[in-house]
Amino acid sequence: MSEKKERVPGGDRILADRRAAKRRKMWQTSKIAMATALAAAFAFLFLLPIVLTITNSFMASSEISANYGSVFATDANGGKVYIAEKVNLKFIPDMVSFSQYGTVLFKSPDYLLKFWNSVILAGPIVVFQLLVASLASYGFTRYRGRIREIIFFAYIILMLMPYQVTLVPNYLVSDFLNLLDTNWAIWLPGIFSPFAVFLLTKFMRRIPDSVMEAAQIDGAGEWQIYRRICMPLCKGALYSAAILVFIDYWNMVEQPLILLSDPQTHPLSVFLSKINAGEIGLAFAVATIYMVPSLLIFLYGEEYLVDGITYQGGIKG
């Protein structure tokens, strides 16, 4: 006698729900896989110029000229010529050569001089802009009012303006103060730039007022609240601002060209913007060396950069 299987009440529905859940999980997994593949493709495209620069810096001058000479060729009048032949992009040199680095680091001290010019120009701007911005941001956070909101709104308007708009006023003010052809013409506009003030103010205003009020009840003064409460809580925002400000002024070109007439005082970024046919190989080596500080700072402070931008305020446990 054949046994009949007992049907569990709602068994078909449970089985259908399990199949639907399995399909949803497979669809979510496929979406994640497609998004990952798309992100990997974009990352590859973005990293391609960096990889090309690094690998080509180990090529000999003759090989670089043979591959890219037509890109920088000029006519008798010094103008650009039409590229009739296909440019050969090579990622692996035929023979590894360190001659470009030898020229940059040992044979020609001008490149190292320009490198240190970049450090001298960008370093003080980062340090003192963060100092000024942290003090100004604390003032905007602690003391609210119509006048201060108007000043803060003016900061935002100035931040939205590209540097090319304020370049002429900066030139006129530097000329009036006899600061042209000095580092102060670069330092002062950079130190009082509104970007870090905006970033730190928005971050400090997310700190609960109860924290500062509790410190005041315990007898802390304004300086103690600024130094022992706001600055430790804003460490992520400070790192974020430092990284972004450094990268911005490390790559500056317009300011030195307009405000510094002596080529010996120009940073290395100006040289990279004036590549000619005879310096293609050196440009690859110089660009590789020039990328190192930015990459190290970004890799070291990547966690702080993301934390400073996405942190929603409050105290972490």
Q: Using one digit for the tens of pLDDT, what is the confidence trace for 293-313?
A: 888 888 887 777 766 666 544
Cβ atoms within 10 Å of 179's Cβ, excluding its own: 17
Write the DSSP string, 170-238.
HHHHHHHTT-TTSTHHHHHHHHT-SHHHHHHHHHHTTS-HHHHHHHHHTT--HHHHIIIIIHHHTHHHH
Instruction: Read off the pLDDT of residues 213-253 as tens digits, 9 standing for 90 and up.
Output: 888 888 888 888 888 888 888 888 888 889 889 989 998 98
At 74 the three-state DSSP class reads strand
Residue 69 or residue 155, greater confidence: 155
pLDDT tops 90 at residue 122: yes
The tokens 């039409």 sit on which residue? Answer: 82
Q: State whether residue 166 is helix, strand or coil.
A: helix
Q: Looking only at Cα atoms, what is the longest distance across the chain?
A: 111
Q: What is the pLDDT of residue 132?
A: 93
With residues binned 3-state (H G I as helix, E B as strand, rest as coil), the percentages for the chain, rounded to 5, are 70, 0, 25
State residue 316's pLDDT score: 45
Question: How many residues are listed for the chain in this entry?
Answer: 317
Q: Give me the pLDDT at residue 127, please.
A: 94
pTM of this prediction? 0.77
pLDDT of 314 reads 44
| Predicted pLDDT of residue 71 | 64
Residue 138: CA atoms inside 13 Å, Cβ hemisphere, count? 20
Each residue of 57-94: pLDDT tens digit?
Answer: 888 877 777 777 666 666 556 555 555 566 667 777 87
Give the model confidence (pLDDT) of 158-212 as tens digits.
778 887 788 888 899 999 999 999 999 999 999 988 888 888 888 888 888 888 8
Structure tokens, 218? 């315990």
